[in-house]
Structure 1
């Protein structure tokens, strides 16, 4: 349970923007800060203000109100609530065993009263209730997804029974859940009903999905065949998906192994960014024609295994986390949109997997 101090929402006339990094702690940190780390956004160096020794904090979602960050732990069965105060100090204030292994992604429900964890290894989506202060109030519901797509071929040897990797929330309270193992996107309605929203190419491995803010389309990155799929959205909440375009996010002269990972949309600059682990690059994709994206270049990554790339709108930077090189680069997004890699700042972190910007 949250203590009284953690329940208070910190209010300040001049909030500070903090960059919070998480990463894997199972491997060799090579001397880098490990766990959950906070950096001042306006600082010049790479030393964190605070580090919290959590195990494998690989996804971070700020609470819609108040001082809490919700953290998922890869290869564990735990979610944590962490308080970030105005001085950049981290404090673990609540945790819950969700009964399912490897929550790869966590999202706050549309009403702010629940968390949605996509548990990759367990093949399940778990909804956790939150109380009025944002503390964990227990497991509300679990959706096992193994066998939910009867036509799944598991054509790639890496695919298991079900591997949900993310949940995207729609305005009607439903969820869109890419499933790397069954090559589908699931839709879980607000009342709990399940259906298949889209079927992708066998062996493609759907991983993460983003919604275009104005056009009726969604973009889906498929990990195993390193492809980008454009889906036309229809229905009252855009819940119906129709694949209308697919293309590789790798250069035409690349013949090595590579797997796509993250996807991020910079709507103002009409650009999508997709990371390639193996080619070790960020594909830059023009989406001025929202239904016909075009790969226009590749940003080289200073390091190996870019698991994460995300636009941090609060700072107007593109954060790229090279998990294999313990490095997070903050890139100028204007240059990145033109295919130019311009590093504003580099941060050291052990096996980084995610980055968020938070004002306190």
Structure 2
């Protein structure tokens, strides 16, 4: 047995070295962009939560506007829509290098409609859901064990619209949100003011209309993105055209939504300029809802009551123009906002008790950022 003092002497002299400690994997974020102003496509950042800073560590070339991203539950694969108007519309599947975060294209799938603007996955990672704004279509694509997407197992092109509103000149499918129990997916249609509900069969990699196939909100509201409360009992919807939020109760057995509130304002009473709402997220505790507003250029915060109803609580400027998508830290400590028109990501600290956001003073430049997601 080596004497401890001899070991210490050898270590100090450099004749032996201490065993290497495993370095923790850096916390990564992926940013989707529009292909303009020199954008390279998808950007990869390391996030230092101690300092509250972002550092770019890579990028993946995609000149077809990879505007929205989704991470596979295994965290081994990433998916992006291709929203460009001058190429094949669809979804890209990428493999993620666990050490570096670098993306390698696996294959491409069809969105079955023009202008795909949103991608999401079911909780098993066996289905990818593609929402196509321009084509007014929703498609479910099987995902293989190797992360590749297949031909759609379900596709629907809808009819309808609101002739009274030019933005609702037809169906515009904007997002598909999966329930926490993975039994249902909710498809928001900006054009007809409807939310379609589908039952998920992950084993067969298909979906089918639920018993209550759709829910309607007030005409002219423009459903865009949704978020479901951590308890699964309540659901919240961005109403893009009226800059408001709708609140629903949710039947976990049938998936049916029942409207609790419609057109809850998210703008200050004295704001009269043009505005459209974009994204919506909740904090991990389920006590606060945040919604991005383009025009006001702020995140609006709403508090959630015990009955699921919302109350407007204030706004925080996003230090940029046209805040689109934003990331709420799963630990509740930070929020990072993508300002599309000023080409910057801005970091905010979050008070977990009050929900209040405070800018850290740190931002990074990214051309036309429109989506921020966790990468590990």
How far 1:193 moved relative to its partner? Answer: 2.5
Q: Which residue of 1 aligns with 2:6?
A: none
How many angstroms apart in 2 are the aligned matches of 1:129 and 1:338? Answer: 38
Correspondence 1:27-66 to 2 at 5 A: 27-29=36-38, 34-42=40-48, 47-54=55-62, 55-66=64-75
Q: Which has the higher contact order (CA 8 A, sep 6+)?
A: 1
How far 1:208 moved relative to its partner? Answer: 0.9
Q: Which residue of 1 aligns with 2:31?
A: 21
Q: What does the per-residue CA deviation read over 1:185-211, in whole Å, with 9 as the maximum and x for residues that have no partner? A: 111233523654311111110111111
How many angstroms apart in 2 are the aligned matches of 1:304 and 1:313? Answer: 25
Q: Which residue of 1 aligns with 2:12?
A: none
Q: Which residue of 2 aligns with 1:79?
A: 91
Q: Which residue of 1 aligns with 2:237?
A: 220
Look up the SS of the partner of 2:69 in the other structure.
strand
Correspondence 1:192-341 to 2 at 5 A: 192-193=208-209, 196-214=213-231, 216-234=233-251, 236-237=253-254, 239-246=255-262, 247-268=264-285, 270-313=287-330, 316-334=333-351, 337-341=354-358
- In structure 2, relative to structure 1, the CA distance for the partners of 1:290 and 1:153 (3 Å cut) is same
Correspondence 1:116-155 to 2 at 5 A: 116-147=129-160, 153-155=162-164
TM-score (norm. length: structure 2): 0.83
How far 1:258 moved relative to its partner? Answer: 0.2
Q: Which residue of 1 aligns with 2:366?
A: 349
The Cα RMSD (Å) is: 2.3
Query: Out of 91, 94, 110, which is 2:107 matched to?
Result: 94
Q: What does the per-residue CA deviation read over 1:322-356, in whole Å, with 9 as the maximum and x for residues that have no partner? A: 10100111211217954443226312111101111
Gaps of 5+ in 2: 1-21, 201-206
In terms of mean alpha carbon deviation, does 194-203 or 336-345 score higher? 336-345
How many angstroms apart in 1 are the aligned matches of 2:134 and 2:46? Answer: 34
Q: Is the Cα contact below 8 Å between 1:336 and 1:342 reproduced in 2?
A: no
How far 1:69 moved relative to its partner? Answer: 0.6
Query: Out of 180, 194, 217, which is 1:184 matched to?
Result: 194
- In structure 2, relative to structure 1, the CA distance for the partners of 1:244 and 1:47 (3 Å cut) is closer
- In structure 2, relative to structure 1, the CA distance for the partners of 1:291 and 1:98 (3 Å cut) is closer
How far 1:104 moved relative to its partner? Answer: 1.1
1:168 maps to 2:177: yes
How many residue pairs align between the two structures? 339
Tell which structure's C-alpha radius of gyration is larger. 2
Q: Is the Cα contact below 8 Å between 2:128 and 2:143 reproduced in 1?
A: yes
How far 1:267 moved relative to its partner? Answer: 3.5
Look up the SS of the partner of 1:324 in the other structure.
coil
TM-score (norm. length: structure 1): 0.87
How far 1:46 moved relative to its partner? Answer: 5.5
How many angstroms apart in 2 are the aligned matches of 1:13 and 1:47? Answer: 18
How many angstroms apart in 2 are the aligned matches of 1:214 and 1:315? Answer: 17
How far 1:81 moved relative to its partner? Answer: 1.4
Look up the SS of the partner of 1:65 in the other structure.
coil
Look up the SS of the partner of 2:285 in the other structure.
helix
Gaps of 5+ in 1: 1-11
How far 1:88 moved relative to its partner? Answer: 2.9
How far 1:37 moved relative to its partner? Answer: 0.8
Q: Is the Cα contact below 8 Å between 1:245 and 1:291 reproduced in 2?
A: no
How far 1:312 moved relative to its partner? Answer: 2.7
How far 1:313 moved relative to its partner? Answer: 1.2
